[in-house]
């Protein structure tokens, strides 16, 4: 048969396939979540997230060391405080769990890049992401405490702050307080399109952040909506965000693609706890090849347009990239 166009010419061996890849991955694009528990000594396994741990302040550098050895140079910190109250006051405490974790990490690994999650849900006794007025989260009152929390993280040495609360106007509030205190160079990664997803279940156990009543649909996005994500990203761009994010990742690849195409800022995606737990469970049951599905899932997120990925598989993915199994 006389065929001029034979696409298989570019698939016939590993060398040519690597040469022609359209999506190329690097460990530099990976961010690893670290949970720090103020009440803990050493580390403790998280039952809902096989292979993940809570770390005490005395052990948090162990998590960092493992990241560095794997080739991951960035983390995002989540704190589990010893004290919770109605307004989440531990969140902006100068000696709070995240603030002390930052100092501990930076003292030993000054070049390791530390991003901090900025939200109230881990710190409030009701588990919601802001200040309550009755049974509703008061948007504007919450902005003040979010800004104070972000400032305290930056003053403790955080390289970047990442507000995940989904309050209206929080990027502007945080940018203003950082700039006011001479921290103009601290970037803001915004959880711009954070959906009210069923995929967050294991995280709520890991972070101790499940709401004591109701849900978060009044501030997180409706999974039915696509155009709204573009609106949220546009508002964050106007308010001064440096990086945009879509969360979760796998069920929202279309949103990642549209937002990535629409805006010039770097795009992050968060492969959340439920996505990780499903792959882990299916692999343990022998239903899938966990390693290959891990690689393929991450690849799909980058192919959709993400420039960086927060993932519990960061260390394993970095090694897979080094081996050439993905990248």
State yes or no: is 231 an active-site residue: no
Active-site hit among 194, 217, 231, 280? 194
What is the model's pLDDT at position 301? 98
Give the single-character DSSP code of 288.
S
Residue 176, burial from CB neighbour count under 10 angstroms (0-12, 13-18, 19+): middle
- pTM of the shown model: 0.94
208 has pLDDT over 70: no
In 159-289, which residue ranges form alpha helices assigned H by DSSP? 170-180, 201-207, 227-239, 253-262, 273-284
Among 126, 207, 103, residue whose Cα is nearest residue 164: 207
The mean of the pLDDT values for the chain is 94
DSSP assigned state of 196: -
| Catalytic status, residue 84 | no
Between 126 and 256, whose confidence is greater? 256
Residue 327 pLDDT exceeds 80:
no
Task: List the structure tokens of 304.
Answer: 């959709």
Q: Which two tokens stand for residue 247?
A: 């969360």
Separation between Cα atoms, residue 46 and residue 86, nearest integer Å: 26
Residue 213: band (very low, low, confident or very high) from pLDDT cuts 50, 70, 90: low
The mean per-residue pLDDT over the stretch 167-190 comes to 97
Nearest to 115 by CA among 201, 219, 187: 187
Residues pairing with 247 in the sheet: 194
Report residue 274 as tokens. Answer: 């439920």
Residue from 125, 170, 174, 121 nearest 152 by CA: 174
CA distance 267 to 249: 12
pLDDT band at 232; cut points 50, 70, 90: very high
As a whole number of angstroms, the distance between CA 42 and CA 128 comes to: 28
177 and 148 Cβ atoms separated by less than 8 Å: yes
Q: What is the pLDDT of residue 125?
A: 86
Share of the chain residues as helix, strand and coil, in percent rounded to the nearest 5: 45, 20, 40
If you average pLDDT over residues 299-314, what whole number do you get? 97
Q: Which pLDDT score is estimated for 212?
A: 64
| Residue 175 pLDDT greater than 80, yes or no | yes
Give pLDDT tens digits for 30-57.
999 999 999 999 999 999 999 999 999 9
Place of tokens 């949970």: 35
In this structure, the number of other CB atoms found within 10 A of the CB of residue 201 comes to 15
pLDDT-derived band of residue 19, with 50, 70 and 90 as boundaries? confident
CATH numbers and ranges of domains, the chain: 24-323 (3.20.20.70)
**Of the ranges 22-26, 46-50, 130-134, 182-186, which one carries the lowest mean pLDDT score?**
130-134
pLDDT at 210 over 90: no
E strand or H helix that includes residue 100: helix 97-108
For residue 135, the model assigns a pLDDT of 84
pLDDT of the residue at 214? 58
Query: Which residues share a beta bridge with 192?
Result: none
- Sequence-ordered list of residues with C-beta below 8 angstroms from that of 15, at least 6 positions apart, any chain: none
**φ, ψ dihedrals at 39, nearest 5°:** -90, 0
The two beta strands, 189-194 and 267-271, are unpaired
Range with lowest mean pLDDT among 119-133, 150-164, 262-276: 119-133
Encoded tokens for 291: 């390693």
| Structure confidence at residue 4 (pLDDT) | 85
Considering the candidates 148, 247, 280, 315, report the single residue annotated as catalytic: 247
- For residue 206, pLDDT over 70 is answered with no
Q: Name every residue whose Cβ is closer than 8 Å to that of residue 235 and which is 6 or more positions away in sequence.
A: 168, 171
Q: What is the pLDDT of residue 95?
A: 97
Q: pLDDT tens-digit profile of 50-102?
A: 999 999 999 999 999 999 999 999 999 999 999 999 889 999 999 999 999 99
């Amino acid at each position: 048969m006389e065929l001029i166009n034979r696409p298989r010419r570019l698939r016939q061996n590993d060398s040519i396939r690597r040469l022609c890849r359209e999506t190329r991955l690097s460990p530099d694009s990976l961010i690893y979540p670290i949970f720090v528990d103020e009440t803990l000594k050493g580390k403790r396994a998280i039952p809902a997230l096989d292979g993940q741990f809570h770390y005490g302040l005395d052990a948090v550098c162990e998590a960092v060391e493992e990241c560095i050895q794997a080739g991951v140079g960035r983390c995002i910190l989540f704190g589990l405080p010893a004290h919770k109250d109605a307004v989440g006051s531990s969140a902006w405490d100068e000696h709070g769990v995240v603030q002390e974790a930052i100092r501990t990490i930076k003292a030993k690994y000054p070049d390791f890049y530390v991003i901090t999650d900025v939200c109230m849900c881990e710190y409030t006794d009701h588990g919601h992401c802001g200040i309550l007025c009755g049974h509703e989260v008061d948007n504007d009152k919450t902005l003040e405490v979010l800004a104070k929390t972000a400032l305290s993280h930056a003053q403790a040495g955080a390289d970047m702050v990442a507000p995940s609360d989904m309050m209206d106007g929080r990027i502007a509030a945080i940018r203003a307080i950082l700039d006011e205190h001479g921290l103009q160079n601290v970037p803001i990664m915004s959880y711009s399109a954070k959906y009210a997803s069923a995929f967050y279940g294991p995280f709520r156990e890991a972070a101790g952040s499940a709401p004591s009543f109701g849900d978060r649909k009044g501030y997180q996005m409706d999974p039915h909506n696509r155009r709204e994500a573009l609106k949220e990203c546009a508002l964050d761009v106007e308010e001064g965000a440096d990086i945009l994010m879509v969360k979760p990742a796998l069920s929202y690849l279309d949103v990642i693609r549209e937002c990535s195409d629409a805006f010039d800022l770097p795009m992050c995606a968060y492969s959340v706890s439920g996505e990780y737990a499903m792959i882990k469970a299916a692999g343990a049951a022998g239903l899938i090849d966990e390693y290959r599905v891990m690689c393929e899932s991450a690849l799909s997120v980058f192919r959709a347009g993400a420039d960086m990925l927060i993932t519990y598989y960061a260390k394993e993915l970095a090694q897979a990239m080094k081996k050439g199994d993905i990248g």
